[in-house]
Each structure stands twice: as structure tokens, then as C-alpha cells.
Structure 1
């Protein structure tokens, strides 16, 4: 059967993608120092596919049509034009067979995923790929994109996201073949882009989250959506997508790498890499 090797939680802000595309010199040096070490570890894992949990930024969906959860089931996903042209990154290669296995497993388990057989993906998905793999001519893995609504209320709770991850983990464990699979939860950390709290950063909360997501994820599921917004800002509420990633992993995990940086953009950027190979579900 397939094996879920690892999970990664990582921010997806565009500025992080720009910083990680370069050679790590100049102003980007501090970002590379904190985020680039995970690349060799991911390379050594020799993953076949990554499941990427992300939110769409009105590229494929809109406020008029925004599913709570959606999954891509295509052979490829083009970088979306977000109003200023698409990111100059490779087309994302899909794994339609794994997508349909997840669909056939997770929907009967009680999670009503919208199925997208055509889907353009924006920086929410492609920036994490840049963080993990740099700027290759072709992404070295296939991808299953899973979109989560963290944009318009009502949004799914932290517990619901964690439970979705559990269902995904069970589905991967029943997938025939020997695929080596990773899962990436994207978004955050604390930031708010508008209103009276624009520029809000909560480093204490972010550092707590980076630790708890590894060892005490259930404590994070007890926080309400209002708690996440209060502590991490309106866009910091994206952190529930990391709980989908963590829910897919087992209990006996280990933290391989963790990084945190607050750049000029007033968006706290974080990363945690989790080895799942010691886990039993």
C-alpha cells in the first residue's frame, strides 16, 4: 500500500515565494537560512506525490461560488492569473488516480468534497512548492490539490479540518501500490491585511502553534474560528489548513525542522516539517 511519509506546514504568502526563488543572497538570506534546510530533507524522501491543502484567492472560485472543501481530479493544473499574470512556475502535474481514490474514500466517510476536473491554482499552492523544491523546470512530484474555504464565513472549524485530515490519512493507507506520499498544509501564520488591526502579528501565538501542531494538535482543535481570528488575525485563520495536514499523520511523529520569520510585509511566515515514518495510526 501507499505510505504517507511526511507532513509539512508552510506559509504561502507571495513574498515568501519571491524570496525562495533566488539564490539566498541579499535581503533574502535570512529567509533562506530559516526555510531552505527543509529542501534536502524533502529531496531525500523521494516522494512521488504531495497532497497540498490550500485556499483559493478568488482565482478558480469566487465569493459567489465557494465550496467548503474541494479536490482537484485532473491530470494537470495551470498556474492561475491572479490579476497581474500567472507566476512563472511549471504547470502542476496531477495524480488523478490518487485524487479519485481520495474522493471515493473521503466522501463516503462524511466529507462532501466538491470535485474539480479543471482547476487553475494560485500562489496558495505554488508558493509552498517553491519553498520545498526551488525553481525547477518541472516539479519533481505530482500533486493532489485540496481547497479549503478560509475566506468567507461560515468556514470549517479546526476540529472539522483535523477530522478531514484523519479521513485523508486512512484513505492514503488503503491506496494500492507503493507510492511515497507527503501532505502539505499551507497558509498563515498570523497576519491581517485590512481593518483597524491591519498588520497584526502575534509571535507568541505563532510559536505556540508551531510547537503544538507537532505534539498537541488536539489542543489546537479546541480553538474556535473566532479564537483563531482574535489571536492570529483574519488571514491567520488560514492555520486551520495545517490541521488537515496534521490530522492525516499518526501520533508517533517527530519534528525535523521548524522556521519562523516576520518579513517587511507584516505577515508572519512559518514552516514545520514532520516525519511520519514512526507512526502507527
Structure 2
């Protein structure tokens, strides 16, 4: 039997804005990958902190980049999708690192024959604190995930561990809605899973630092608004008690974050997640 020697090209899209320190970690991670069939695209929001100079120094592993003003992460990602040359696309945040030096090599074996049966292939994400200690573990088989609720939406694959087929972005309707500032990735994943069930692989893809734009008090209030819009668009109706119980928890967390200093809340929540993670495993 003839061995399949096809090597799928994996396009990685990263958006940056004044992220010189965080981007350095991601650069090291991608440079150390044993898998070399990578197209890396960086869309920068006109940074002034040395991010652009760092990109220029590493042009040998960055196939395309640009730096100009944008309206946010999803505007930047949409710009990046116009330059996709690969077969599968991973959106990797500045500061995120690939879990191991051979993770893309491991995942590529499954990506070879995944399409057209699957538009979305996903693995696990390791969430760590400032001390690089695991505090959360995202990603489980779709058979389990599809019956669960997260926040005030249906449970979805973790976006940092998700590979979307490049054909997904051929149509404008699959681009990230720029009117959303936090939940655009939720919108994209919702479209994908509504069309086809995704393929889960028990492989750690990404290691990311706990936090981000959706964890501050004001942004938690914004994400409630955006998730309500997404639920309405996709006609998602959660059980009454579960929906309002989760909604109340988000409101409480949001107002606690607004009233008390962010560093104190972040530290306490990290401790909570760390204890929860230990009990889980």
C-alpha cells in the first residue's frame, strides 16, 4: 500500500497590539516546531512598543504581516484570512505557546483526511497562571461537550485549540463579525458546529495564560450582551433555570471585578481555579 506523503499546510493567524513581550514567547514556540509546513500571518494594530521591530527581526518564519490601525481582534483576524495559503487555520494569541515542539506534527497526521467530513478539528487547551501552573483544562469529546452549557451559551470547542478548514473562510458569511468585540470567536465556532459535528483529538494544542479581554468586569457585562445577540441569531434557547443561574453568576463576578482591584480578584480567582483543578484530577 502506497503511503500518503501529503503534508497539510497549517496557517497560524496572530493579531497583535503593543504586545512585544508576549509575542516573543509565541515566536519561540513556532520557531521550535518540528513541523515545518507552517504559514504564519501576523496582523498588527499599529503598535508603538517595538512589536513591529520584533516582527521584522523574525521575518524568516513569518510569511505575511502588516501593521495598521484596526477596530479590534476580529477586524485583524479578518484581514489575516485574506492571505491564507494553508489547508487548516489556527488562531494563536500573542503570548500563547504551542503545547510542545511536535504538536503540529502530531495534529497534522489527523488533518490529512479530516476534510470534507469535518470543517473543525480541535484538541485541548492548558490554561496556566503567572507561575506556569495549570489552573484549568479546556476541551473534551464533542459527544460530551454538545450536551453541556457554558456561561449563557451552548458549550463549544476551545477556540485556541481549534483548527478550521481554510475553505471555511472562502465565503464572507464565515468571517468574524466586527460588531462583536469579545464573542466573535464564539460566533465563528457556532457556525462551524451548526453545519457539521467537529472532530475531537485528545491532544494538547495550546498553552495560554489565564485572563484576557473577557475577564474584566466591564467586559463581562459586554459579553452578556454579545452572547444574547448570538443566541438570538442561532435560535439557541437554554433551560430557564440554567440560563438565569449562569447569568446571575456572571453579573456577580462582573460587579465584584468592577468594585474591587483587578489584581486582588485575579489572584483569588487563580487560587480558586488551582484548587478546583487539583480536585478534578
TM-score relative to the length of structure 2: 0.25
Report which of the two has the higher share of helix.
2
**TM-score (normalised: structure 1):** 0.25
Q: Which has the higher contact order (CA 8 A, sep 6+)?
A: 1
